[in-house]
Structure 1
Amino acid sequence: MAEHKHGEMDISVQEKTFEGFISMTTKATIVILLILVFLALVGA
């Protein structure tokens, strides 16, 4: 088994995936809040 050396692994793919997840979560939260505000104003 290979020795583990801290900080040598390429994590660029994981970082891009995490950034995409955070971006999608933020956008979904904004859309949901806008829908809730719209429903509150319409009175549904």
Structure 2
Amino acid sequence: MHVRQIENASLDKIITQHYSDLAAYGYDNAPLEVEAFEANKKYSADW
């Protein structure tokens, strides 16, 4: 999922957003991580 996030934006933007979100929300609630956690649930359920 993180690869897709980077492909949809730029690496610089994702890194900047991710560190800002980590500081504001913590790891478990950072929007990029929440998106990745949800995708992981979806894709792992398909296996």
TM-score range, shorter chain: 0.3 to 0.5
| Larger helix proportion of the pair | 2
CA radius of gyration, larger in: 1
TM-score (norm 2): 0.39
